[in-house]
Amino acid sequence: MIDFQTRPEHYRHWRLSYDGPVATLALDVAEDGGLFPGYELKLNSYDLGVDIELYDAMQRLRFEHPEVAAVVLTSARERVFCAGANIRALAAASHPFKVNFCRFTNETRIAIEDASRYSGQIWLTAINGSCAGGGYEMALATEHLLMADDGATEVSLPEIPLLAVLPGTGGLTRLIDKRKVRRDLADFFSTTQEGVRGRRAVDWRLVDELVPRTKLHDIARQRALEYAEKSPRPRDARGCHMAPLDRQIEPDHVRYANLTVEIDRARGAATITVHGPIAPAPADRAAIHAEGCRFWPLALARELDDAICHLRFNEESVGTWIFRTVGDARMVAAYDRALLENRDDWLVNEIVLYLKRTLARLEVTSRSIFALIEPGSCFAGTLLELALAADRSWMLAGAREGSEAPPAAIALTEANFGAYPTLNGLTRLATRFIGDGAHLERLRSKIGSEIEAEAAAADGLVTFAPDDLDWDDEVRLALEERASFSPDALTGMEASLRFAGPETMETRIFARLSAWQNWIFQRPNAVGETGALKAYGAGKRAEFDRRRA
């Protein structure tokens, strides 16, 4: 089983240090520290285990160290920054693992950009040696790239000439969307093995600054301090310690404090039940800080984040995720008010951003997502986002026979109108009702109201609203139908339907991952017996089918 929980004292591949407002995160990969046997992580190459530690470090920098306003990403090795994803690990991995690996690393790099853009914690890269493939893609996620001017240090994206695949974590998209590299220069750069160094790398916008090797780290710190001076991060605030999750993993269950996962293997489905808060929302930001990682929205974000990653990698055949909630919708709405009224507080801001990133994992997950809204549920505000992210939702009309529970109701809060934009830059409501601003305004007028099933269906907030007589059959048939379809076709359909509206760099990265990398990673030119991944390092050239498909 792959575990996504770690902490700095357990890191094998990263060194994290602090100096006032600047932190340094240095890559120092243990060659014998692969997540699986059968390969060595040479030349600071990485596998999923290395990236799990990077994600953990990024989260801790944001929550535990409010005084850190700039992060320098570099290598602890001489003459090598990072050789990218480990080729032996990729060659041995299953196709679903490859794609999930690329997805997770993409999300981690987007989270780094999110820290620079919204948290005032600016990331820079000091490239002190060869920087290839995924190593350069990691650097591209930062805001300022410094490179040693020593005649040898270079940057490259050699996946096409060496491996017959594409850069898997947004490299091509960031070249032209983020760094504004000219198309013809990007074409040359992406099809050469040798890489680009020196003045040419600056002139082509591949890096921002050339620095003598002996001064690289001093100048990187100087640049970091310049960014830190402009940052709104609080210098004297106390951080929020991210304690280990309270989690129990069993063959068909995963239990957290605020969330449970139950797996029905016969149907290939996982039911994810989110438990609403049981204590009133804190009265002020001091009380929020006192609760720390026990504060319900933060605790839920951490648990949902872990559950999503666990299900993606460890339960590949569980193709449908069903979201349920249990609790008091009014208490959920009260927590939403506490978040939005204190959004100018650094910790509350980080919690909202963490919820945003975690919810965004749903739309780029290759699973069918359903939501079931029943009496006793609490799909309000932040938790309503789970239903809005679903491919379909069912809401029970009326009461259950023999039950005294009142009919199910959902509730909108201000959080649904801007706190959690998806990767297309729009809220889930705006994406759902694309181009219909008048309807969005009508929905805004219903903030604070309890909306029962028939009204929710009329407002387009749920897909179906069957009564108790039809509920069980409708849900059963939908699950059986979903299980009968091709998973590949469903992945393509879902990815095509989930992002209406404008394209962003993030939507392009994930769309291309689904549409192209997913396909190229299965082609014989890459993974066949004479393909490039098999031929790599074997002293022979790959043999390609020359037909353009």
DSSP string covering 44-110: G-B-HHHHHHHHHHHHHHHHH-TT--EEEEEESSTEEEE--B-HHHHHHS-HHHHHHHHHHHHHHHH
In this predicted structure, what is the pLDDT of residue 245?
97
Residue 527 falls inside a structural domain: no
Asked if 116 and 142 count as a contact pair (C-beta separation under 8 A), the reply is yes
pTM: 0.96
Count of structural domains within the chain: 2
40 and 160 in a single domain? The answer is yes
Query: What is the rounded average pLDDT of the residues 99-126?
Result: 96
User: Considering only CA atoms, which of 31, 96, 21 is closest in space to residue 61?
Assistant: 21
In this structure, are 115 and 165 located in the same domain? yes
Contact 41/50 with Cβ under 8 angstroms?
yes
Residues 300 and 381 in one domain: yes
What is the model's pLDDT at position 402?
Answer: 83
pLDDT digits 0-9 by tens, 128-178: 999 999 999 999 999 999 999 999 999 999 999 998 988 988 999 999 999
My answer on whether 317 and 457 are in the same domain is yes
Query: pLDDT of 377-420, one tens digit each?
Result: 999 999 999 999 999 999 999 988 888 889 999 999 999 999 99
pLDDT band, residue 539 (cuts 50/70/90): confident
Residues 305 and 397 in one domain: yes
Angle between helices 346-363 and 296-314 (to 10 degrees): 30
* 333 domain residue, yes or no: yes
Burial per residue of 252-271, b for 16 or more beta-carbon CB atoms within 10 angstroms, e otherwise = eebebebbbbbbeeebbbbb
The answer to whether residue 198 sits within a structural domain is: yes
253: pLDDT strictly greater than 90: yes
Query: What is the structure's pLDDT at 533?
Result: 84
Residue 193 has pLDDT above 80, yes or no: yes
Is the confidence at residue 283, as pLDDT, over 80? yes
The CATH number given to whatever domain includes residue 293 is 3.90.226.10
pLDDT value, residue 218: 97
SS (H, E, C) 447-471: CCCCEEHHHHHHCCCCCECCEHHHH
205 and 337 together in one domain: no
Q: Span 437-457, mean pLDDT? A: 97
What integer is the mean pLDDT of 450-478? 97
Q: How far apart are CA 270 and CA 264, in angstroms?
A: 6
**pLDDT, average across residues 181-202:** 96
Report d(CA 423, CA 11) in Å as an integer: 30
pLDDT (average), residues 350-354 = 98
Give the pLDDT band of residue 10 (cuts 50, 70, 90).
Answer: very high
Domain endpoint, select from 165, 197, 229: 229
Closest CA to 514 of 100, 26, 58, 62: 100
Based on the fold, state whether residues 402 and 465 are members of the same structural domain.
Answer: yes
3-state secondary structure 253-285: EEEECCEEEEEECCCCEEEEEEECCCCCCCCCH
Q: Is the pLDDT of residue 518 over 80?
A: no
Question: For residue 515, how far is the Cα from the chain centroid?
Answer: 18
pLDDT at 344 over 90: yes
Examine the domain organization and report whether 116 and 256 are in the same domain. Answer: no
Mean of the per-residue pLDDT values for the chain? 95
Helices (H), 131-280: 134-140, 159-163, 171-173, 183-189, 198-203, 216-229
pLDDT-derived band at 549 (thresholds 50, 70, 90) equals confident
Report if residue 511 sits inside a domain. no
Whether the pLDDT of residue 515 is over 80: the answer is no
> Cα separations (Å) of 219 from 140, 212, 214, 445?
19, 9, 10, 53
Residue 188 lies in a domain: yes
CA-to-CA distance for 193 and 174, rounded, in angstroms?
Answer: 19
Shared domain check, 164 and 68: yes
In 119-154, which residue ranges form alpha helices assigned H by DSSP?
A: 134-140
Mean pLDDT score, 184-211:
97
Cα–Cα–Cα angle for 285, 386, 422, rounded to 5 degrees: 80
Q: Are residues 165 and 299 in the same domain?
A: no
Query: Of the residues 201, 229, 257, which one is the last residue of a structural domain?
Result: 229
Angle, in degrees to the nearest 10, between helices 296-314 and 329-341: 110
Is a pLDDT exceeding 90 seen at residue 442?
yes
Q: What residues make up the domain containing 44? A: 8-229
Residue 409 lies in a domain: yes
- Whether residues 364 and 447 share a domain: the answer is yes
Residue 517 has pLDDT above 80, yes or no: no
What mean pLDDT is predicted for residues 456-469? 97
Per-residue pLDDT at 307: 98
pLDDT of 403: 84
| Domain end point (choices 229, 263, 282) | 229
Pair (287, 192) in one structural domain: no
* Residue 506 belongs to a domain: no
Q: Is 495 within the bounds of a domain?
A: no
Of the pLDDT bands very low, low, confident and very high (cuts 50, 70, 90), residue 513 is: confident
Give the model confidence (pLDDT) of 18-35 as tens digits: 999 999 999 999 999 999
Per-residue pLDDT of 102-112, as tens digits, reads: 999 999 999 99
Q: What's the one-letter identity of residue 453? A: A
